[in-house]
Amino acid sequence: MGRSDDYQFDYLDDNNRFADQVNGALFHGRQVVKPEELEPADAQFVYLGKEAGKHRSFKTIVDKTRLWRGSLIHILAVENQTFVDYHMVFRNMLTESLSYHRQWEHKKKAHECTQDLRVGTDEFFSGMTKDDKFMPVITLVVYCGRRRPWDGVRCLHELLEINEDMKEFVTNYKLNLYDCHEHDTFDEYHTGLRQLFEVVRYGNDKEELKRIMEENKEAYSRMDSETKELLEVVARIKIKEKNKVMRNEEETYDLCKAFVDMKLEGVEEGRREGMQYQLVRTVCIKLRKNKPAEIIADELEEELSEIKKVIEAQRQVGSYDVKRICAVLMEQ
């Protein structure tokens, strides 16, 4: 499956999926954008921001751009284990501003080649005519965080300490944000994106996910390999090869059967988590009594290395909060 931190998945290279994402998120399922109307975007018009890659908490999964009826549509889909990127408004503003700037540079060079701007005029110094128009840039942010809904701001004004008397003079910027946690159904999607959002949305509600799978058994029992791989990366699940089913020489996966296997494995995982909780709780009690790691390991008949891991996690937390210490250990 590869390291998810470095994973660049080309799921939306397919125009059917790209159109499905735009129609589902922006037009509530209305088929406004047609796959056959999408065209590759000229790279010189596109700024795909790289600054987010510097932050471990923010990982880009899909960063795709297409031209549609004279508009530039940019989809930025993000996957996140723990954190919401609270500066996303700034990032989008920068991305779109630089996209427009590159369009202007392109026009300016075109005018320089044709020498159609008279020297000394406003148009010459502007590098464009007053009638020049630019392609609108539409950015859609798709949030697939597994642990919690998006709780960051959705417009520039929400990030500013601004006097109400001055607010009308400060230009606002709004995010086009799609967070699957804010939806209960995903009927507006007609590709594997529906299964992706359903699994992320109800990943912690196994009974509800089971019900959804049973109602849409055809899709879940014949999942294509690309959707399967995307689920493994974004939803952090492993669909084993034994669930592969060949249909008409096409490789598909039976997620319904895989779900049963994962549910059984989840029982064992829950048992292990319970044992870890008990160990951390007991170690904390002994740490309060100022007992050293060697003594604790001997009394609990545990490996010294395991006890030292718990102690290190406790120091990171800075308290004896057992749940938070367990969370640190899980992250490790």
Burial of 215 (0-12, 13-18, 19+ CB in 10 A): exposed
pLDDT of residue 8: 42
Asked if residues 29 and 187 have their Cβ atoms less than 8 Å apart, the reply is yes
Please state whether the predicted TM-score (pTM) of the whole model is above 0.75.
no
CB neighbours of 306 closer than 8 A, spacing ≥ 6?
Answer: 279, 297
**Per residue of the chain (332 residues), what is the pLDDT tens digit?**
333 333 345 788 899 999 999 999 999 999 999 999 999 886 555 555 444 444 444 455 557 889 999 888 888 766 544 568 898 999 889 989 998 999 999 999 999 999 999 999 999 999 999 999 999 999 999 988 877 889 999 999 999 999 999 999 999 999 999 999 999 999 999 999 999 999 889 887 888 888 999 899 889 989 998 898 888 878 777 788 888 888 777 889 988 887 766 654 443 455 556 678 888 988 999 999 899 999 998 888 888 988 999 999 999 889 998 888 988 887 76
What does the radius of gyration of the chain's CA atoms come to, in whole angstroms?
A: 26
CB neighbours of 73 closer than 8 A, spacing ≥ 6?
Answer: 22, 33, 65, 66, 67, 138, 140
pLDDT of residue 263: 53
**Structure token pair of residue 17:** 């999926």
pLDDT of residue 326: 87
Domain ranges of the chain: 4-253, 267-331
- The residue assigned the tokens 């008409």 is 248
